[in-house]
Structure 1
Amino acid sequence: MQELTDFWNTVVQVWTQGFLGIDISRILTAVGILTVAILLRGLFTKIVVTRLRALVRRSETSIDDHALDALEGPLRLVPVVIGIFFALESLELDGLALTVGVNFERSLIAFVIFWSLFRLVDPLSFLLHRLDKIVTTIMIEWLVKVIKGLFIFLGAATILEIWGIQVGPILAGLGLFGVAVALGAQDMFKNMISGILIIAEKRFGRNDWIKVDGIVEGTVESIGFRSTRIRRFDKAPVHVPNSFLSDNAVTNFSKMTNRRIYWKIGVEYHTTAEQLRRIVKEIGDYLSDSPEFESNPSRATTLIHVDSFNDSSIDIMLYCFTKTTNWGEWMVIKENLALKVKEIVEGAGTGFAFPTTTIHLEGFPGKDVKAEGLGIEDPQSV
């Protein structure tokens, strides 16, 4: 009988000492509390989110709906944090264990807070879009990224401070390290500053068609901190360092107000002055009557004049602008203009000139001259 008593005392001793001096009953209680909190997480989130959605639906704006969607993840962690709090309370910790438990609980709370702030940046970024008249959309996207990075930094610093780790000395050490890195990463910082200048100067934006002589031509897809991704017309992406786009002349075709058509129309030399006047007038009438061409002189210049006497033609200069800047539409308008010019020239009773050369051969008296290279058998007929 004494043996059974000793065995029971041993069981009770193990039960009361448990793990790290914590009673096993308290450990089981804490585990039970935490398990219930995890199991109720879905139900809690569903109830809270459902009630909040019913409230936000009454508002006329959709911003609160997006904000609620962003907060759904952090809300699912709230029951777990609450369960950890009551589980630690049930353990009745003391000393170092109590300090570790409290710091862990505070770290989770800080994590939930800064995670929520991080998630709220995107739905609330509309406030920054009100500055689109001052800065570009891409600059706003950069600001959003910077704000997100700031919340990540503050969250990490807060958690480190909770655990007694001073952030100041770390920042000082990083500052010295940053100076050493900066010396070896000058190109990276140059490209970053160039990217900021590109956005601030509004040289180009996303989906703009740009050309940098000798470097690239295509459509801008994104402007990053270091490089810009441009999609060439053969659909190949090109990543160009921002410094190349900042230091070189950039032609932004997407900023064109109109597209230009500039032709030299050569007609035959036997065209009379009256025919030339008729051709110039009818082309001018066509341009002024067509709604596809810019007729406002303050926006674009239109010129149709007899320009020069070329080697084989009389040249008429046609200089005009279309209202559209779309390349496909411009090609159709240009084609229609070319067909109309052909009709006008042929209707005037003349034709288009092409390069010709006239050779005059004279025979010597009493001698036969044979132009063998030209295939002429009777030189007297020349």
Structure 2
Amino acid sequence: MNNEFTLFIYSSLLVAYFGLFYLLFHKMNVFLAKESREHFKTQLVCRATKYPLVVLAVVVPLCPAILYLQELVGFEGRSLKTLMVVFHLSVLTWWLHNVIAAFEGYFLRKPDRDQTTASAVAKVAKIVLYSVSGMVFLSQLGVNLSAIMTFSGMSGLALGFAAKDIVANFMSSLVIHWENQIKLGQWISSPDEDIEGIVRAINMRTVEIERFDKYPMFVPTSKIVSMSISNHSKMSNRRINEHLGVRVMDVKLIPVITEKLQNYINDSILLDQRHSNFVYLNKVAASSMDLWVNLYSRSVDWVHFQSIKQQMLLDMIEIIEGCGAELAYDVVELKDLPENTQS
């Protein structure tokens, strides 16, 4: 009779438990369906809690029943209790992993956030989480942690020599995140190696670079740290460095041409007037006089810069032709000889 009453009480509590869980789960789904900037952090935590909560809701009610059956049968041992503790720790680790991943995804979706730092912090947090969880699991299973630490200390030196490249890449990835010289989405290149493209991922061992031909390139982080890197995304201006050749016969027009070109450059709103924008006669060749054009555009966007460069060069060519001069070409001009020189 006592067992039947206990079973009745447990069944009633189980029905009430699942009823309350259904209401809570329904309220959570309604809350998550609403996009709110004021409660976005709470929503991230709720999304991370959703599935671990379902697992707990199903398994937790079974724990008292398992313990009751253990006492009823008379089974002695800590295996079932240990199993339940490990299960709860696993769900807790799962939930913390989801929370870290949710906040990492949130920061990676925001263009105004430092995505590289967010990714690095998330990776370090996951490593710490897995390390602590692993030690707690081993402790619950009765493993002697001090023996493991002693063994790891003795074998660490041998493993260090065997995996020195992996260790070097791991430490280099930390240096990249710490110095913050390159970030996700930036355009980088190296004068030392045939490396150029957009940074897509900074992992613990490699840096993923998307080349402009759309092929992915995976470069070891130790190589990135040791070689020279040009970060094109951090430039403040783009430079127009060109030479315009004018015919030698138009030498008397050079002062007028350079003056008009300089006035045009000084009045251009496409150029950054804080820098030295100029045009001067730089070289006198056999068939041309080269005008050196050195300009700095306001825009650093590659496509827009090409449009600015084209417009500036066409306008300057028009100014040169408007002064009565022409551009020099590598051609041979044949003229008729005077009649008294013909034989």
- Name the TM-score class by shorter chain: 0.7 to 0.9
Q: Which residue among 212, 220, 243 is the counterpart of 2:199?
A: 220
Over 3 Å counting, the alpha-carbon distance change for 1:70 and 1:178 in structure 2 is same
Q: Is the 8 A contact 1:258 1:323 kept in 2?
A: yes
Question: Any idea what SS the aligned residue of 2:290 has?
Answer: strand
Aligned to 2:321: 346
Q: CA deviation at 1:64?
A: 0.2
- For the Cα contact (< 8 Å) 2:265–2:278, is it kept in 1? no
The residue that corresponds to 2:240 in the other structure is 261
1:311 matched residue in structure 2: 286
1:236 is displaced (CA, Å) by 0.8
| Partner Cα separation in structure 2 for residue 43 and residue 312 of structure 1 | 94
| Structure 2 equivalent of residue 15 of structure 1 | none
How far apart are the structure 2 equivalents of 1:209 and 1:171?
Answer: 43
| TM-score under structure 1 length normalisation | 0.75
Match of 1:50 in 2: 26
Greater shift, 78-87 or 92-101, is seen at 92-101
Name the structure 1 match of 2:255: 277
Which amino acid in the other structure matches residue 90 of structure 2? Answer: F
- Tell me the amino acid that sits aligned with residue 313 of structure 2: A
Mapped partners of 2:70, 2:332: distance in 1: 110
Q: CA deviation at 1:128?
A: 9.6
Whose radius of gyration is greater, 1 or 2? 1
1:166 Cα deviation after fit: 2.2
- Give the Cα–Cα distance (whole angstroms) in 1 for the partners of residues 284 and 197 of structure 2: 39
Shift of 1:170: 1.9
- Is it true that 1:164 corresponds to 2:139 in the alignment? no
Q: Match for residue 265 of structure 2?
A: 287
- Given candidates 204, 216, 221, the residue that maps to 1:237 is 216
Residue of structure 2 in register with 1:122 after alignment: 101
Aligned residue-pair number: 327
Residues in 1 aligned to 2:37 and 2:301: alpha-carbon distance in whole angstroms: 41
User: What amino acid maps onto 2:85 in structure 1?
Assistant: R
Change (3 A) 1:42 1:225: farther
Q: Are residues 1:148 and 2:126 paired?
A: yes
Alignment TM-score, normalising by the size of structure 2: 0.82
Q: CA deviation at 1:199?
A: 2.4
**For the residues of structure 1 that align with 2:310 and 2:333, how far apart are their CA atoms?**
33
Q: Aligned with 1:271: secondary structure?
A: helix
Query: Aligned partners of 2:130 and 2:22: how far apart in 1?
Result: 27
Residue equivalent to 1:372: none
Residue identity opposite 2:300 in structure 1:
T
1:363 aligns with none
Cα distance in 2 for partners of 1:46, 1:140 equals 35
Aligned pair in 2 of structure 1 residues 59, 91: CA closer, same or farther (>3 Å)? Answer: farther
CA distance in 2, matches of 1:305, 1:336: 19
Change beyond 3 A, Cα 1:206–1:126: closer
Task: Write the distance in 2 (CA, Å) between the matches of 1:99 and 1:183.
Answer: 42
Change (3 A) 1:42 1:286: farther
Do the aligned partners of residues 77 and 309 (structure 1) sit closer, same or farther apart at CA in structure 2, a change above 3 Å counting?
same
Distance 2:248 2:43 in 1: 75
Match of 2:47 in 1: 69
| Superimposed CA distance per residue, residues 151-188 of structure 1 (whole angstroms, 9 cap, x where no aligned partner) | 22322322322232222222332333332221111111
CA RMSD of aligned residues (A): 3.6
- Are residues 120 and 358 of structure 1, via their aligned partners in 2, closer, same or farther at CA, if it must alter by over 3 Å? closer
Q: Secondary structure at the match of 1:265?
A: strand
Greater shift, 350-359 or 309-318, is seen at 350-359
Structure 1 Cα separation of the partners of residues 68 and 47 of structure 2: 34
Q: Is the 8 A contact 1:107 1:159 kept in 2?
A: yes
Paired amino acid for 2:22: K
Contact 2:173/2:202 (8 A) holds in 1: yes
Deviations 1:28-62 (CA, angstroms, capped at 9, x unpaired): x7xxx89x97x999765432233456789799231
Distance 1:137 1:98, change over 3 A: same
TM alignment of 1:95-114, pairs within 5 A = 97-114=76-93
